[in-house]
Amino acid sequence: MRIDVVTIFPEYLEPLNVSLVGKARAAGRLDVRVHDLRDWAHDRHNTVDDTPYGGGPGMVMMTGPWGEALDDTLADGYEAGAGRPALVVPTPSGRPFTQQLAGELAERPWLVFAPARYEGIDTRVTDEYRTRLPVYEVSIGDYVLAGGEAAVLVVTEAVARLLPGVLGNAASYRDDSFAPGAMADLLEGPVYTKPPTWRGRGIPEVLLSGHHGKIARWRRDEALRRTVAHRPDLIRRCDPAAFDKRDREMLSILGWMPGPDGRFGPSPHVMEE
Ligand code: ADE
């Protein structure tokens, strides 16, 4: 996969040299190129932003430098035979970035990231490139960052670990929280490693039992427990057919029961508390 990032802070993308993404690059599975947007600015001050039409606070990134930067970057990739590109624009007003979208992006041969600073990029830039290639405007969460660079790191890491041969153990992402179909979309429960006792704290007996069925059940119970506590919306969203008899018992212990439509929600006496 080829990844281009156009940014006014190339040094912000340094983390792409380390850990999983760095190794994928070194192994030749990922070709990452970071470009300085100011290389496409034309005045003495390398200006890339201007005041917003209609007034208001902050600055808006200008069409000129972005248009030239993206044209040159795309031309270079096409020449190198990078395949069909997709443009990824991180913005708090984008669609939520999910594991499913990470999987979709991982199928593509070439991603071009356009992270913005200030109040964002003049909308005509995305409008223009949408006529030529798929454009994904994505938000990594309901909070506002100072710029899209951190979101580029997040998206790149989530995508890179799905590329063939990048993760040592292909099974490791099948059980991920949010992996399609995994654990019926529950969060992963707690994990333990050696030593068996630390500061007086042991580990759940069942994990030492060697009984795979019981261990799987325990993990599922803990996943249900954690999901109810941290992401009750995921339980409500679950197709009730994904819950077996033991799941239902566990949910009942946690104070959740099926409503009129069969979907699970907190039982009324729990909600009153
Ligand atoms: N830029 C600023 N905030 C962002 C967010 N939450 N997601 C993606 N890009 C952003």
Read out DSSP for 140-153?
Answer: SSSS--SBSHHHHH
The rounded Å distance from CA 140 to ligand 1 centre is 6
Query: For atom 10 of ligand 1, which residue has the closest CA?
Result: 91
The answer to whether the CB of 144 is under 6 A from ligand 1 is yes
| Cβ atoms < 10 Å from Cβ of 40 | 20
The rounded Å distance from CA 210 to ligand 1 centre is 45
The answer to whether the CB of 151 is under 6 A from ligand 1 is yes
In this prediction, residues 128-140 reach a mean pLDDT of: 98
Tell me which DSSP letter residue 52 carries.
P
Cα 81 from Cα 180, distance rounded (Å):
31
Query: Which residues share a beta bridge with 73?
Result: none
The answer to whether the CB of 91 is under 6 A from ligand 1 is yes
Q: Does the pLDDT at position 181 exceed 60? A: no
Quick: pLDDT tens for 25-60: 999 999 999 999 999 999 999 999 999 999 999 999
pLDDT at 272: 53
**Hey, what are 227's tokens?**
């999901």
**Hey, what are 127's tokens?**
């409008």
pLDDT band at 180 (very low <50, low <70, confident <90, very high): low
Residue 76 labeled ligand binder: no
pLDDT at 118: 82
Cα 119 from Cα 50, distance rounded (Å):
10
Residue 221 labeled ligand binder: no
Cα distances (angstroms) measured from residue 212 to each of 31, 195, 209, 215, 244: 41, 21, 8, 5, 18
- Extended beta strands in the chain, E state: 2-7, 31-36, 49-50, 60-61, 85-96, 110-113, 135-139, 256-258, 264-266
| Ligand 1 nearest-atom number relative to CA 90 | 9
Cα 219 from Cα 5, distance rounded (Å):
40
The answer to whether the CB of 117 is under 6 A from ligand 1 is no
Contact present, 110 and 84 (Cβ < 8 Å): yes
